[in-house]
Amino acid sequence: MRAMKRIVILISGRGSNMEAILRAASAEKWPAQIVAVISNKSTAAGLATASSAGIAARVVEHVSYPDRAQFDQALSTVIDEYSPDLVILAGFLRILTSAFVAHYHGRMVNIHPSLLPSFPGLDTHQRALEAGVKFHGATVHFVTPELDHGPIIEQAIVPVLDTDTEDTLAARVLEQEHVIYPRAVRDFIEGRYALMEGRIVRHTA
């Protein structure tokens, strides 16, 4: 049997994507183990979810460090205690230094609530409504130094309705995030694709 892959998940808050990944990993018996969940905020609701699933829930608070570089250094020290094959950003609201990103090159993914390259950054649902787009969605991508710009692994599209508010649109997108993120992670774990020279290379069985 192949060795179990090791996953570390970084969160900052609610952690619903983390929960969707935990649920899929156990229901679908992935050849992977979520070995730690780390938050940069001690108040993140997702920490309790992780603990009650028996997963190490750690806090590395960015406010305890004088600058970004030292926070990232401390964070990667904790992450590396778990020797992850994959680092998952799931609502992790910190901009990362390029040294940190380089250290996890090809093994760190993020989900962003828009159809990248449209609407990188914050307030994506509000901006989608203001732009009047008819379709919106979510993107799973490898993390590269430029924020919300890495090679795209998966996307989900949802319609934007005339009656939408930021909340109704966010909820429609989130439902799809919970579908595509676990699927993208599972495919990575099973070796169905990898990042090679800045591009996604897919492997068929």
Catalytic residues: 112
Closest CB 151 distance from ligand GRF, rounded Å: 17
In the complex, the smallest distance separating the C-beta of residue 19 from ligand GRF, rounded to whole angstroms, is 8
Interaction site with ligand GRF (CB under 6 A)? 11, 13-17, 90-91, 111-113, 138, 174, 177
Residue nearest to ligand GRF (CB): 91
* Least CB distance to ligand GRF at residue 134 (A): 20
- The strand ranges marked E within 45-168 are 56-59, 86-89, 108-112, 135-142, 152-159
Nearer to ligand GRF, 12 or 76 (CB): 12
**Cβ nearer to ligand GRF, comparing 90 with 153:** 90
Q: How many residues does the chain have?
A: 205
CB nearer to ligand GRF: give 80 or 146: 146
Alpha carbon 83 to its chain centroid, in Å, reads 18
Sheet holding 108-112, edge to edge: 56-59, 32-39, 5-11, 86-89, 108-112, 135-142, 152-159
CB 126 within 8 A of CB 47: no
